[in-house]
Each structure stands twice: as structure tokens, then as C-alpha cells.
Amino acid sequence: MTFSTNALFVALVAGIGFVGTAVRAESPAPAGVAAGLQPFVDAHTLAGAVTLVASKDKVLSLESVGYSDVAARTPMRADDLFWIASMSKPMTATALMMLVDEGKVNVDDPVEKYLPEFRGQMLAVEQDGEHVLLKKPVHPITVKNILSHTSGLPFMSRVEHQIDTLPLRQAVMSYALSPLKFQPDSKYEYSNAGINTAGRIVEVVSGMPYEQFMQKRLFDPLGMKDTTFWLSEEQSKRLAKSYKPNAAKDGLEETPVTQLSYPLTSRDHYPCPAGELFSTAGDVATFGRMILAGGTFEGKKYLSEASLRQMTSTQTGNLQNDGKSENGYGFGWSTTRNFHDSEPMSPCGHGGAYATNLWVDPGRGLVMVFMVQSAGYPNHDGGKIYPTFMKAAEAFGKQ
């Protein structure tokens, strides 16, 4: 199995990019996989990162480079936390597929079977500042549609100002009241609303709040102790600071996570299934190892092989890039369309808005995790950083 270009695609979509900082790095020189990133720290194009390479059985490499706080010269630590943003999506999809395995959800069902507020949802066929023309869609949106970004739901609704300002029930109600942007199955358009709707189905079908289901059925059993929607005071001290290009484009400046409500330790904001989790490289890798091992971790079965394969197989056909590349999307996972039918799953992964990334490669038998906090797209040599990590991670996996 050769490295899929989709891994790079996922990273770039997630917004990976770093620019120079006028503050010179003086952190200890790393070894192994992270060593390849030290030149970017020295050149002031990377504040810091945590890298992890694992097999399904164990962690092979866990390293850090640079700083979690550039101004304070705080070295990045392997157990630092990061806002993983849309890397929450495959975790939410996993929760829903667990209910599929229990016979409580069918991905071919219309969403309205589980959420009656979606009954009668219309499609906008004309829209401008003066009018909206609606008609019935060819069919109601399905669970498959919301998991694969082919539903026609918007990215967010008009009443959402940030991703965590509304209770999940209210947020999903606002999606049900929004007209579809296109016919279901006719396009791929990335939609937080779709994955949030999947999270709402999880809580309606399971009979417990979404965040409780995630904690009880996924995070606690897997031992993901630092994966959370709400940072504790102790965890907040381990949260890596976020950076963006400064106005002169010759350095980094600290920036808040603009999609979230502050303070991050407050319980006054609401869980967002599509992109609000905080986590560590170790926790993310544990989740990835479970996926790589066919839905099993340390003797406990989380997913059936049938659900795992469906979730990690491309569900979008040629809708992305008109079939001109390998890129695809499964259920909550970015995928590649080129993989061997004999394999139980496709290479898959997901990036986050501030450049975190998880890639699961069954051909190599590797889970590769890249944790940074960068707001801004590639500038200077920033576009080289993630490929440098991937090349080093794959080489390490061959040892």
C-alpha cells in the first residue's frame, strides 16, 4: 500500500500552515520523527507540535518539538492538550455506528424517522435578497447523507454564531427549519450541521445526552482520559496556545480559538458533535488504534467489521473533485478510493481547523497523529511541515 495523497489533502483542508516568528526557538532538540520538524522551529515557521506513530498493538513513537507557549518559552510536552475541532467527526460517527450494530439505527433510513422535526423539509431552488423559492426534495435526507456531507444541509444555521452557543436539540431544530441547499445525494458539501444532527440521533436513540453517551460508551472504556468538551483547570494549563500569521507575515502571534466560547473551562457552552473536543496525541492515537484493529481495543469490541468497513469506505463516489483524485468521504472520515478489496477498511483520517490530524493506514499498519494549533493557511515554507511529518512517520513505521 502506498501513501495516499488524501492524507495530505485532509491536512491542507484542515488549514495546516505556519509562518515565521521573530522569537528564536531554544527548545531541546528532539529525536526520531519529531527531529524532522526542528528546522521549522529554528526557522520560526512552527511554534511546536506533538507527533505520534502507533501500531494497533502499541505506541511506537511519541515525541514533541518546539513550544506550547512561545512567549513564555514553555517546551511542548507529549501530554499537552489541543483543540482537535473536526477530528471530533469520526468519533461522533463511531458512536452512531455503534447504535447501527445494535440494530437501533439504519443508515438508509430518513433522518425524520428519528427526528420528526425534519418532516416536510424543503429544498431552496431559487434564492436572492428578495425571495426564496422552495420545493420538495427528491427524497428526505437520510442518515447516510448527514454522515457523508451529501444532505444539502448548510454548514451552520443562521442562528449559530459559534459552534457551542446552542444546546444540541435547539441547534438541530434550526437545521430542520432551514431549506436544503441542494438535492440530497447530488453534491458533497462539508456540513457541521449534518454531523451535529447525527449526534442528536445518538442521544435520542440511546436515551442519554450525546456527551454522556460519548463518555460512557467510548472515552471511558478506551481510557481517553483527556478527551473532553470542557477543560478542567489542570487540563487548561496543558492546552497548547494557538498561533496565526502576524500582520507583517514575518512572525506568529497568539490567537484565541475564534469558533469557541471563552473561558474554555466554563460549563456555559454546549457540546458540538462536529467539532468541539479537546484531546491529546495519546488519546487520539488510542481511538485510531481501535479503528486500525478492526473495531477492537484491549479485548473489547466497539464496532463490527461491517460497520467499520462501511464507515471508512468512500460513500461520495465521484462527487469530490469530479473523480479526478483519490479523495472521498465515508461516514465521518476522509477516505481514499484506492484500496484493496481484501482489506477490511480504507485508509482514512480527519483533520481539524487548527491543523491537528489523524491518519489510519491499514496497509502499513500504522496510526499517525500530528498535533499543532495553527490558525492560518500555508505561508513561507509552512506547506512542507505536515508532509515532513508523514514522511518521517512512515519511515519510522518500517523500522
For 98-157, the pLDDT digits (tens) are: 999 999 999 999 999 999 999 999 988 877 777 778 899 999 999 999 999 999 999 998
User: What are the extents of the domains in the chain?
Assistant: 5-89+214-397, 107-207
**Residue 361 near residue 92 (C-beta atoms within 8 A):** no
Report the CATH number of the 107-207 domain.
1.20.58
CATH 3.40.710.10 holds for 5-89+214-397: yes
Q: What is the pTM of this model?
A: 0.89
Q: Provide the pLDDT confidence category of residue 228 given band limits of 50, 70 and 90.
A: very high
Count of H-run helices and E-run strands, the chain? 12, 16
- Determine whether 8 is exposed, middle or buried from the number of CB atoms within 10 Å of its CB (0-12, 13-18, 19+): middle
Q: Looking at residue 40, what is its pLDDT?
A: 84
How far is 349 from 51, CA to CA, in rounded Å? 15
Q: Which stretches within 185-252 are classed as H helix?
A: 192-206, 210-214, 220-222, 233-237
- Partnered with residue 351 across adjacent β-strands are 357
Cell 517546551 belongs to 75
Per-residue pLDDT of 31-89, as tens digits, reads 688 889 998 888 777 899 999 999 999 999 999 999 999 999 999 999 999 999 999 99
The average pLDDT across 202-230 equals 98
Q: 123 and 327 in contact (C-beta within 8 Å)?
A: no
pLDDT tier for residue 241 given thresholds of 50, 70 and 90:
very high
Of the pLDDT bands very low, low, confident and very high (cuts 50, 70, 90), residue 30 is low
Q: How confident is the model at residue 24 (pLDDT cuts 50, 70, 90)?
A: very low
Is residue 21 over pLDDT 60?
Answer: no
